[in-house]
Amino acid sequence: MSRTKMCRTKMCGILFLTFAGMSFAVEVQDRGRWPGAPYPPSGLIQAVEWSPADTVIRQADGSDNWPITWADDDHLYTAYGDGWGFVPKVDKKLSLGFAKVTGGPEDFTAVNIRTESGERQGDGHRGPKASGMLFVDGVLTMLVRNTGNSQLAWSEDYARTWRWSDWKFETSFGVPTFLNFGKDYAGARDDYVYVYSNDHDSAYEAGDRMVMARVPKVRIREQDAYEFFRELDGQGRPLWTRDIRDRGAVFVHPGRCYRSGISYNAGLKRYLWCQILPESTDSRGPRFQGGFGIYEAPEPWGPWRTVFFTETWDMGPGETSSLPPKWMSDDGRTCHLVFSGNDRFSVRKLTFRIR
C-alpha cells in the first residue's frame, strides 16, 4: 500500500484535501479545470497563456532530449540525443552530444561542443543519452540514461572533457534529472542537490510514481552520500533513507510517470515540474503528438498542484521539457519552455496568470 494518502471532505463549496498529513483547500469549481490531471489545480497560478504556435523557435533539426542548465559564465549548456546538433551540424549522428546556448530565449545562438570523452553513439536504447544537466560550484554535472540504469559524469571545462563515475543507479532511476536553480546553482534552498526520476529501471517505460534522491553538493560523485525520499511526516517534513529499497513516492500518476524536467522559479517561489505523458498517436512518439503537465509546489517534495495539463497539446510536447531559470522574468510570471518537439531544440514563451 502506498504511504501517500489522499482524502477529501466537502464543506461550504470548498474541497479539503489531505496529502501525506498536509491539508489544503481547493474551490469545488476548480476540480474540473484540468480533467485527467493527477493533482488539484494550483492555488497560486490561475492559468497559463502560451504564445501562438507560429512563434515557437526551433533549431537543431533532427536532435532531441535537451536537458539544460545555467553556468557561471552566464551561458546555458545542454545535451542532445540521436542527432547532429546545431548548424553547422556534426558529421556523425550522436546519441550524446553537447552544445552551448548564448543569449535570450528569442535571440539565442547555439554552437556544438565536441568532446571525445563525452560523446557517445547508438540509436534509441542502445545509445547513452543525457537526462539531466546541472552546473554547480563551477562544475557541469550530467545524469546519463541507458547505461543500466543511469550514470553520473562531470566536466570542469564547460563540456570539453568528461569524467565518468565508476558506479550507477542500478535500481529504479531509469531517466533521472536534476532540480535546477539559478546561475551556478545560485538561490538554492540548501546545500543539497536533488534528483528525480520515474520509478522504473528503463527510460522507455512509464512508472506509477516518481522517486527522488538528494546528495550534498560537495559529495555529488559519491554513491554512498545519496539519500532517497521515503515519505512526509505528519508535519509535512521529508523523511529520507539510505536504502534505495525503502524509497517512496514523491509524486503519483499511475502508468504515466515518464520523462521530466524540474526547476525553481524564484519570482513565484515555486518548484515547477514539467512531465511528459508517455502516450502518443504518432508512431514517432510525443515529439510529434501528445500531452504533458506542469506542476508546482512550495518545496521540492510537494505538495504538488496542477498548473497546466493536457492529453493533447497543440503541438508535439517532445520527449522531455523544462523551464530554464535563466529565461524566467524577475517576477516569475514569464517563462520559456525548452522542449524537444518536432525533434528539435524548441522554445515557446508562456505567461502565468496569478490569482
Q: Using pLDDT thresholds of 50, 70 and 90, give the confidence band for residue 124.
A: confident
Separation CA 22–CA 6 (nearest Å):
10
Q: Is the pLDDT confidence value at 109 over 60?
A: yes
Pick from 331, 311, 320: nearest CA to 274: 320
Average pLDDT for 216-229: 98
In angstroms, what CA-CA distances link 102 with 120, 352, 353? 24, 25, 28
Q: Using pLDDT thresholds of 50, 70 and 90, give the confidence band for residue 33.
A: confident
What does DSSP assign to residue 111?
Answer: E
Determine the pLDDT at residue 266.
Answer: 98
Q: How far apart are the first and last CA of the chain?
A: 36
Strand order across the 14-19 sheet:
6-11, 14-19, 22-27
SS3 of residue 8 by DSSP: strand
Average pLDDT for 256-267: 98
Cα angle value 322/326/327 (rounded, 5°): 70
Average pLDDT, the chain: 93
Pick from 28, 30, 33, 32: nearest CA to 13: 28
Determine the pLDDT at residue 18.
Answer: 47
Residues for the chain: how many in total?
355
Determine the pLDDT at residue 30.
Answer: 52
Q: Is the pLDDT confidence value at 43 over 50?
A: yes
Bond from prior residue into 265 cis (ω within 30 degrees of 0): no
* 26 or 137: which leads in pLDDT: 137
Note whether 279 and 291 are within 8 A (CB): yes
Q: Is the pLDDT confidence value at 170 over 50?
A: yes
The x, y and z cell numbers of residue 198, run together, are 520515474
Q: Using pLDDT thresholds of 50, 70 and 90, give the confidence band for residue 27.
A: very low
**Amino acid sitting at position 248:** G
Q: Using pLDDT thresholds of 50, 70 and 90, give the confidence band for residue 296.
A: very high
Note whether 262 and 272 are within 8 A (CB): yes
Note whether 262 and 256 are within 8 A (CB): no
Determine the pLDDT at residue 188.
Answer: 98
pLDDT tens figures, 137-147: 999 999 999 99
Contacts of 304 (CB under 8 A, 6+ apart): 19, 39, 251, 273, 295, 296, 297
Q: Is the pLDDT confidence value at 340 over 50?
A: yes
What does DSSP assign to residue 96?
Answer: B
pTM of the model as a whole: 0.92
